[in-house]
Every structure is written in C-alpha cells, then in structure tokens.
Amino acid sequence: MIVKFFKAPKSGNGKGSVYYLLDKRVKENTSRLLYGSKREVLELIDNIDSKYKTTVGCLSFEEKNIDEKAKHQIMREFERQLLPGLEKEKNYKILWVEHTDKNRLELNFVIPRIELETGRHLSPYYYKSHQKAMDNWRELTNLHFGFSQPNDPQKEKSKEHTKIRKSNEIHNKLEQEILENIYDDKIKNRDDLIDFVNSKPNFKVTRTGKEYISIKEIIPNKTTKARRYKGVLYNERFRDIGTIRTELDRKKSDIATFNGRSTEEIQQRIRRLQNDTREYRKFRARQLQESIGKLSNDTKQDRTNHQGEHQGRDRHEIKRTNTDQERDIGRDREQAHSMADNRDLHLDRNNYGYVHRIQLPTLESKKTEKEGNDTRRNRKREYELRKRAIANARTRQRKLVQAERESFIRDTIIKSEHQELSTKLRNWSRTRTEQHFAGLRDLIKSVCETVSSTVHSAISAFGHYTTRITNNIRAEQKKQQQRNREQPETQSVRRMKRP
C-alpha cells in the first residue's frame, strides 16, 4: 500500500475531483461511496473562498481487494494520522470513494479545506513537513496488515511506465538494445551507455543523476516527457562489467536481508514506528489547534519552545507551573512599582498593589482574566464568523442581482435588435413587393395594349372581310336574279320549236 496526494488544480471550482471519483464507474460497479455525503461536500466547497479548496489523494493497494472491516479501520487510522486532535463531522468533512477499475484497490479521499467550527482555512498536508510521518504510518500499516511493501528491493523497476502502451513498447525495445550491446561488450560503462542513447535519432539523455538517467523520446511536432531509468546499469557506479556483478550481488544481499528479517526485528520496527507516530500526532495536534485558533497563549508558547521535540529527541508535555506564573506576576509587580514612582502614587509593598488606584493581579485574578480573554476571543470569533457569513450572503445576493440585471439588459438588447430587424425586414419586403408589382403592372399594361391593338386589327380585318363577303353575296344574288329572268324566256322559245 502507498499513499498518494494529488496536486491541487490551478483553476476550477474544486468540484472536479468529486465528480471524477463518482462518475460513470458507479454504474459499472467499479466505484463505490464508502463514507460521506457528495451533496454536503459539494455545498461546503462552494462556501470556500480560498484558491485551493480541497485536499485529494488515495491509498493505493497492490491487492485486488481486502476485508471490509480492514478498509474502515485503515481509513480511521489515516484520518487520525492526517488530522490528529480534530473530530470528523465536527471539525472537518471527508469523502471516501473506493475504485477497483484498475485491477487493484484504491481508497480515494477528498477533504474540503475548511474547519467547520471556526470557518478558518484547514491545510491537512504539507509535503516537506509531513512526508516522513506519512511514510512511517504507511510502513506501520503495511506491517500490521501484511500488505506488500513499496520499499521491497524485489519491486524496484528499471524505468517509469505510463498509460501509453506504444510508448512503453518503444522504451522496452531501447532497453533491450542496451542489454544486447552490453552482452556484446560494446557498452562498458555508463558514459558509453549515454553516448549510445544519444546516437539514436529518436532518443536523447536529458538529465543524469547519481542513481538514474532521464531519457526522452523525440517525436516531431509533439512534446514528450522524459522517462527516468534507474538500477545497476544507470547508476554512476557503473564503470565496468565488474561493477555490474558487484551491484547485482549487493541487490541480492538487500533482498535476502529484507526477506530474512526475524519476527523480533519486525516487532522492534513496529514499536519504533508506533512511538514516532504517537509523538508526531501530539505535535501535529497542537499545530492544528493553533492554526484554527483554539490554543491559549501559554500553549502556543509551549509549542514554540518545544517545536523540535518531534524530530528524534525525547518528547514530553511541559506545562507552566505556579512558580512560572508567580515569576510573571513579580515582573508585572516591578513594572507597576516603576509606574507608580513615575506617577507619584502611594503603594503598599506588602499588599502587592496600589492603595488607591490599581490592584495588581493575583493568581486567581489572572486565571479569571485569562478565562475572560478566552470568552472575548470566542465572542470575537463568533462575530467574525457571522460577519463573514453575512458578507458571503451579500456577495451571493449581489452576484445574483447583477446576473439578473445583465440578463434583463441582454434580453432588452436582443428584443430591440429583433424589433429593428423586423422593421428592416418589413421595409425590405414592402419595397420588393412594390418593385415586383410595378414590373407586373407594366407588363400587364403592355400585354393589354398589345392584345387591344391585336383585337382592334382583327376586328377591322374581320369587318373588311365581312363587307367583301356581303358584296360578293349581293353580286351573286343579282346574277342569280338576272339568270332567273332570262330562264323563262328560254323555256318558252324551246316549246315553240318543238314539232
């Protein structure tokens, strides 16, 4: 099992991690909510004004799954290690989501960075300050439950892997070529190895360290990330072939030592880790209490005086005694006497105070004053919280009113633009219609004139034709009458000529 904290996004509202953890994989039964409320966490993130709103990470196991009871026990112990002295649901919220889609178990967590009682910013984890303590807890948990250890020498890899399968295959081929050249005695040390990689057109050594070298694949018009190669071949101790043999023997010895630890050695290691974890939690609890404003001035002074106790020295709680308090009162008394001498006041030296004007504080009065200061501090804190809540509510209301105003203005502009466009469209349509009908009117007029002239010509021709026909008929009638008058005379002559 390993502990991973993810980098906080530089932009966004902080909700992306919650939506990512509870995405479509929930329907595929590879994502499951173990603890917390998605709705409450999202609402809490909405009310955080700081740039970084959440702390996100996961506990990644090599095992495919573990016992349900063990999961919840590990989750509780992790919260005690990360936020000691704070109570869940009272001081902080957390969301636990289980993932099994990568053929291994992952317990993912999201913590909104706000303390619920005071409303102050909460920072659960700083890498440089808390990494060692988190590594100790990881090792202790792995030893207790028997999980695989990430520091096992057998698990050491020669290079980093990514999710890009094709890129992994290319780097695997490169490593295979390096091994073949070593077997052929073409590469005799690390310098030869670096020259061999740089001679490849598609690869370049970008960085060298004591125990590694970084090799980058060169692809035209594409940005690629360098891979870190570690192990015997890439160590600066690789000066000849004999060095490889020595390093391999050393690695075998480390594996044998790691696997050959006795039960007593493991128990001693567990006890030491438990002590370190216990002392770290005490120190971290005081640190968290101070950061959220729940420590008194005396406790803060104790933490300042003994802040290095958690780093290997004997650690114990130190509280201020009555002698220390009386020494402070004595110092106050001397200051009061000097003030009285300057102001010509009469003092009663045996009563530790002024006779007429000022009464020096006793132990009980100082204790009462301290309680009063705590009460005033709590009232001030409550007032600040209410003031902040009112300011946030007013800000949200102002944003809402601004959004409504912008929406109204936008709708008004759109409406006016629509009206203007409609007017232009009507004018254009009227103009086009008038132009169209004007052309049509001219066409009809010309057609009518043409038809009228044609009909007039036809009528005139028809009249002339009718007149001619009438004249011809009349001429024929006259001829017929003439024939009729002549015909009887012919018949009578014919009768007379008959015998």
Tens digits of residue pLDDT in 142-164: 888 888 888 766 666 555 544 45
Question: Vertex 61, ends 69 and 150: CA angle to 5°?
Answer: 130
- What's the one-letter identity of residue 67? D
Enumerate residues 6+ apart whose C-beta is below 8 A from 303.
286, 287, 290, 295
Q: Residue count of the chain, please give it.
A: 499
Please identify, in words, the CATH class of the domain defined by 2-148: alpha beta
In the chain, the N- to C-terminal Cα span, in Å, equals 164
Q: What angle do CA 386, 390, 391 make, to 5 degrees?
A: 115
Q: What is the pLDDT of residue 71?
A: 92
- Give the Cβ contact number of residue 198 at 10 Å: 12
Widest CA span of the chain, in angstroms? 210
Domain ranges of the chain: 2-148, 155-259, 322-361
The 10s digit of each residue's pLDDT in 26-64 is 999 999 999 999 999 998 888 888 888 899 999 999 888
Q: Can you list the positions of beta strands (E) in 149-303?
A: 203-208, 212-217, 227-230
Whether residue 56 contacts residue 15, with contact meaning beta carbons closer than 8 Å, is answered with no
In this predicted structure, what is the pLDDT of residue 108? 94
- pLDDT the model gives residue 177: 86
For residue 317, the model assigns a pLDDT of 37
Are 137 and 284 a contacting pair, CB within 8 Å? no
Q: What is the mean pLDDT of each run of 10 residues along the chain (499 residues)?
A: 84 81 90 91 87 90 90 93 90 92 91 88 86 90 85 61 61 83 83 90 88 87 83 81 71 71 80 89 88 57 47 40 46 46 39 36 49 72 81 84 83 82 83 79 84 84 84 85 72 53
The pLDDT, as a whole number, for residue 165 is: 53
* pLDDT at residue number 329: 46
* Residues forming beta bridges with residue 59, ordered by sequence position: 3, 107
pLDDT recorded at residue 373:
65
